[in-house]
Amino acid sequence: MSRGSNPAANAPGTAIEPVWRRALRPVARWFEGTPSATRSDLVFRVVLSTLALVVALSWGVHRYWPLLKPAPRPVTHSEDEQTRYGLTLERRKQIFEFMATREPAAIAAGKRDFPTHAWSQQDHRAHFEHDNAKRAERQFGVSLATIFAVMQEGIHKKWRANSKAEPLIPTIIPLDPRR
C-alpha cells in the first residue's frame, strides 16, 4: 500500500470522491473556520482576503471620493460685465465655446436616434448636453449651476462658438410624450 492512501476509499462499494468536491474542500474548511495545514488552503485564504480587501477599498473610494474632493465655487451674481459668477468674461466665453461646439453633434444624435418625435429628440439632446456640462465642470473647475448659468448668458447675448457658427436657439420644444 502506498504512503498516504486511504484503504477505505479504494474498497469495493465505496464511491470515488468527485473532483469538484476535492476542489471545494479548502472553501468548506475556510467557512467552517477549521485550521488548515495545506499550502493550497493558505493560498486560497490569502487570495480571497486580498480580493475582498480590494473590492471593499474600491467601493469605498468610489462611494466617498465626491466627499473628499473640494467643493466647486458657488454661483455668485455680480452686475459687473467683466466678472460674473466669479469668472472673467474671457473664461465664461471659453466655457460657452466648449459647450456650444458640442451642441450640433448632440442635436444630430437626437434627430438620428428619434427621427419622428421632436420632443424625444430634444430630450435626447439634453442628455448629451448634461454629459458635456459634467465634462466642462471637471475641465474648468466650476459647478454645474455655473456652467448652465454661463450657457444661459451666452444664449441670450447671442454669443457664437466660433466666427462661422450660428447663435444657439433659446427655445425648446414643449413636452409631448409619446403615446
Q: Splitting the chain (179 residues) into consecutive groups of 10 residues, what average pLDDT does each group show?
A: 52 67 75 69 82 92 80 63 83 91 88 86 88 92 90 88 76 70
With a CB cutoff of 8 Å and minimum separation 6, the contacts of 136 are: 95, 98, 99, 142, 147
Q: Any idea where the domains of the chain sit in the sequence?
A: 19-68, 74-179
Rounded Cα distance, 55 and 37, in Å: 27
pLDDT at res. 82: 77
CA-wise closest residue to 133 among 160, 154, 108, 157 = 154
Contact 168, 100 (CB under 8 A): yes
pLDDT at res. 1: 47
pLDDT digit string, tens, across residues 104-137: 888 898 889 888 888 888 888 888 999 999 999 9
pLDDT at res. 72: 65
Q: What angle do CA 121, 118, 178 make, to 5 degrees?
A: 95
Rounded Cα distance, 142 and 139, in Å: 8
* pTM exceeds 0.85, yes or no: no
Give the three-class secondary structure for 160. coil
